Structure 1
Amino acid sequence: MIEKDKLLEAALNHVPFDGWSDATLLAAAEDCDLSETDARAMYPRGAVDLALAYHRAGDAKMVERLNSEDLSEVRFRDKIAAGVRFRLEVADKELVRKGMAFFAMPQNASDGAAALWATCGLIWETLGDSSTDLNWYTKRATLSAVYSSVVLFWLGDESDGDEATWAFLDRRIDDVMQIEKIKGQARGSALYKAFMSGPGKILDTIKAPGTPNPNYPGRWHPDEDEK
């Protein structure tokens, strides 16, 4: 285990008492026989970087489990639900509770929102989503709303095996599927087609980050080197 991971592991023992804070970072550094300078070199923004490292570690475990599970015979809505469930099952409620309070602070809110967005993006990507248009954003925004509500429910769930949370998750996923069904029906309507052929055409220019826009000059294609 590298020093940075060891420091994070040590910090987890202090978070329930001191939250995600500089006090936690310094206590973890002492446990690992590291100086404050060494600790801050690993986590320059202190508690923020520490909390985000814990979150990313959970994301990695979720992706690993999604890739290892055989979900080939499972409905896609259940694959999405599995992603959310797997993510929560690798998390510690008390550490997440402290994290919710930490990222609710105005100075940390943008980092918290970005972490939530990244988690939902990883679920979609791991399950094979290849959208590069407006759907790239709407899928992640919708799942972010589901995920955040399920986390809040999970934090207060005292049922055996968190069964109440998984039932709540299924209901929320069903709500999303209803929205997708309505969107599909709308796409076939004359009103939608008229809108998309007029003012709605601007939506066609919305691309996922890093996706080349064919309407912009200066694009490179690998085959061009062979000409």
Structure 2
Amino acid sequence: MDPENTLHATREAVLDAAVPHVPFDGWSAATLKAALADSGVAPALGAALFPRGALDLALAYHRRGDRRMAAQLAEMDLAALRYRDRIAAAVMARLDLVEDKELVRRGSTLFALPQNAAEGAKAIWGTADAIWTALGDTSEDVNWYSKRATLSAVYSATVLFWLGDDSPGHENTRDFLDRRIGDVMQIEKLKAGLRENPLSKALLAGPLRLLGQIRAPRTPDDLPGSLKDQA
């Protein structure tokens, strides 16, 4: 096994060992210490794998969920579904992968801290990006950003609702998600109508020209240590 795969396997082992401790100790230094002991990973290596301690441990867990969701979506037949139903299926697939809601609840508490809020927002954006990528999004302009920003808001609201939902099969969460997606679709219809209205087109000509110059980010995917290779 090459060094990169060895580090990944070690990180996964620590995450597996951390999961039983999180409901009691949260995503904390105590959880990381216990996970390193349970997995047999040396503290020095743990510090290298999770340099910011519990924060990096929680982020690694979140990114693992994104990867597992992407793998699951790749095996699902979504072609027959309406696009809004594909998005709903992807969001629910991501939530259904959570072993214990307390893991997410504790993570929400961690990321609600002012010093961690930016990392929490990045994590949600990463999930939205993973969903759109899995669904085959090919946008290269400002829509790349607007799709992810909109889905980030929908996903965040859905997670908060899901945490308090005890309905069978999270049926209430599915209904809530469908309503949020419906709201977004209404906004998109309104935007489309404005673009077709001659007066609106004239008024928005300048801003639309500026927005038309925005392009999706392009990052080389063959560099060692790239984000996609990190947990």
TM-score (norm 1): 0.89
* Greater shift in the superposed pair: 181-190 or 29-38: 29-38
Aligned to 2:40: 33
Mapping for residues 97-176 of structure 1, pairs under 5 Å: 97-176=105-184
Query: Residues 132 and 192 from structure 1, CA distance in 2 versus in 1: closer, same or farther, beyond 3 angstroms?
Result: farther
Mapping for residues 85-100 of structure 1, pairs under 5 Å: 85-91=92-98, 92-100=100-108
CA distance, structure 2, for counterparts of residue 28 and residue 147 of structure 1: 29
Aligned to 1:215: none
Mapping for residues 34-53 of structure 1, pairs under 5 Å: 34-53=41-60
Question: What are the ranges of 5 or more consecutive residues in structure 2 without an aligned counterpart?
Answer: 1-7, 220-231
Question: What are the ranges of 5 or more consecutive residues in structure 1 without an aligned counterpart?
Answer: 212-227
CA distance, structure 2, for counterparts of residue 195 and residue 137 of structure 1: 23
Task: Give CA-to-partner distance per residue, 1:111-143, whole Å, 9 cap, x none.
Answer: 110010010011111111111111111111111
Secondary structure in structure 2 of the residue aligned to 1:130: coil
Secondary structure in structure 2 of the residue aligned to 1:205: coil
Aligned to 1:10: 17
Aligned partner letter, 1:172: R
Aligned to 2:3: none
CA distance, structure 2, for counterparts of residue 143 and residue 41 of structure 1: 33
Could you list the structure 1 runs, at least 4 aligned residues long, displaced by more than 6 angstroms after superposition. none
How far the C-alpha of 1:98 sits from its partner, in A, is 0.2
Mapping for residues 56-67 of structure 1, pairs under 5 Å: 56-67=63-74
How far the C-alpha of 1:197 sits from its partner, in A, is 3.0
- Which one of 81, 106, 126 corresponds to residue 74 of structure 1? 81
Task: Give CA-to-partner distance per residue, 1:30-86, whole Å, 9 cap, x none.
Answer: 112333212112211111111011101110111111111111111001001111110
Aligned partner letter, 1:117: W
How far the C-alpha of 1:184 sits from its partner, in A, is 1.2
